[in-house]
Amino acid sequence: MSAPIHTVRNAEALAGAARFSRALDAAGTPTRGAVACLTANTPETLSAYRGATWSGRRYTPLSGRWQAEDVDYVVGNCEADALVVDARYADLVATAAERVAPERRFAIGGAIPGFRAWSDVEAFSGDAYERPLAGENMLYTSGTTGRPKGVLRANAAEGPPPTLTAAAGAAMMRAFLPGGASDGVHLVAAPLYHAGPNTYCDGALVLGADVVLMERFDPERFLATVEETGATSTFLVPTHFVRLLRLPEDVRRRYDVSSLRLVCHGSAPVSIPVKRAMIEWWGPVLYEFYGGTEGGGAMIGPEEWLRKPGSVGKPRPDVEMAILDDAGDEVTAGTEGTVAFALDETPFEYKDDADKTAEGRVKPGWFTMGDIGYVDEDGYLFLCDRRADVIISGGVNIYPAQIESVLLERPEIADCCVVGIPNEEWGEEVRAVVQLVEGTAPSEATAEAILAHCGAHLSGYQVPRSLDFDEALPRTETGKLARRSIRGRYWEGRASRV
């Protein structure tokens, strides 16, 4: 059965947010408290998100792809005062729910023992909320030590919405397309627990657009939904492009997507042939951004990109960017270095992880997401490599540390390294390279046993798609794993290593 698709009018989104704001107030949720949500792309999710952030609270979305242990950790780490859960994920919150008072637990889409029904929320007035106050998101990235890390920003000023995230989304949509999405329909085709879909959905709501929510992406259904709803804007990742382009030609021609005026994409690198093919199909409507949950950012429109294929653009007007050498000094045009951004007026930190926060600070007032790149003589940024360990598969960040920890539980493994290797659909896929203990010979049975162990102890998206054996994994003079060397084996002969 196809996953449901929901249409939410802008006024309905505002009313739903007002109801949830009042429900939080009535339950005694602190004004600057935290609301955690483990939900799908449903109208109730919009109500919870907007109701939390537009009543001064901090909103943290949780992923249904996480293990229950990670859900429990994040609910505790974000110090959730309220919890919203879709009934389909009830098993994931059996432990985490105990951290939150029963009167502040809300169930969507069915009953969950110990949770209030969503009808309790719908009983409140949907009239304009009397005390709007800008809260903020605290999204979690995968952690280098295996635990998700919360990106915590200073609270917004004691003023009314929009939140910083919503304002940023609206500003980028206006910058990409004068007039933004005020008279349009924004189609959400990616999970709202990710930063990109979240930011642009909220930005579209700020601009007055209606929203259409796909609970799960299907390429042909996406095209049909664009035609049926007259969608004018959307956010996609390169994996979506690949899946769309793989549809038979007659299927692609069957649907009218000419209503699309703004297709934002980011979260992962896109190959030049794929993006060129999408522009040839949909016209000059693809607008790319480069940034992260932490902030920063560059952007590029379709006409610029056709002149500078492969570039991720120039810094946004409100962003200062530099390419730095290992000493922290800015390099000249055409020279590769660390891509760094100046911290803005609301600097972030990784909650309860001072080491990770410090790791990203390349010099006072500047941070990096770990990418290597250069700017050309016209100021356009090109990404070349990734200094950080992160693997980006289908727009999802995957860090090797937790996977390697699980691999090392196997008695036959002496050493291991997890890297991202090229995958035409997903951008990268997870590959494990293992060194067996002396006396153990590589075999298909051993590989299957190792991968089965990973499947039993990791979330599905973290499990290596394949495994290679290595007689002796390379390490540096200081004993550190030579990860870039191992990763480089799989990227030889490619123009870009991301």
Task: Convert the pLDDT of each residue in 446-458 to its tens digit.
Answer: 999 999 999 998 9
Give the CATH number, domain containing residue 464.
Answer: 3.30.300.30
Q: Is residue 183 part of a domain?
A: no
Burial 271-286 (b: 16+ CB within 10 A, else e): beebbeebbeebeebb
Percent of the chain topping pLDDT 70: 91
Domain boundary among 161, 182, 209: 161
SS3 at position 469: strand
CA distance linking residue 219 with residue 233, whole number of Å:
16
Q: Is residue 40 part of a domain?
A: yes
Q: Is residue 295 part of a domain?
A: no
Q: Are 266 and 241 in contact (CB under 8 A)?
A: no
Q: Is residue 249 part of a domain?
A: no
Q: Are 192 and 237 in contact (CB under 8 A)?
A: no
Which residues constitute the domain of residue 34? 6-161
Count structural domains, the chain: 2
Q: What is the pLDDT of residues 20-31, one digit of tens each?
A: 999 999 999 999
Q: Is residue 443 part of a domain?
A: yes
Q: Count Cβ atoms within 10 A of the Cβ of residue 476 and give its class: 0-12 exposed, 13-18 middle, 19 or more buried.
A: exposed
Q: What is the predicted pLDDT for the residue at 69?
A: 92
Q: Is residue 135 part of a domain?
A: yes
Give the CATH number, domain containing residue 13.
Answer: 3.40.50.980
Q: Tokens in use for 180?
A: 């933004």
Q: Is residue 250 part of a domain?
A: no
CA distance linking residue 422 with residue 432, whole number of Å:
13
CA distance linking residue 212 with residue 234, whole number of Å:
10
CB atoms within 10 A of CB 132: 17
Q: What is the pLDDT of residues 296-343, one digit of tens each?
A: 789 999 999 999 999 999 998 878 999 999 889 999 999 988 999 987
Domain boundary among 118, 134, 161: 161
Domain boundary among 127, 161, 195: 161
User: Which residues are CB-contacts of 154 (< 8 A; sequence separation ≥ 6)?
Assistant: 346, 347
CA distance linking residue 200 with residue 196, whole number of Å:
6
Q: What is the predicted pLDDT for the residue at 477?
A: 47
Q: Is residue 449 part of a domain?
A: yes
Residue among 422, 405, 402, 410 at smallest CA distance from 466: 422
List of the chain residues with pLDDT < 70: 1, 142-146, 154-162, 164, 178-183, 293-295, 344-347, 386-388, 476-480, 495-498
Q: Are 362 and 340 in contact (CB under 8 A)?
A: yes
CA distance linking residue 490 with residue 84, whole number of Å:
42
CA distance linking residue 165 with residue 153, whole number of Å:
11
Q: Are 117 and 96 in contact (CB under 8 A)?
A: no
Q: What is the predicted pLDDT for the residue at 406?
A: 87
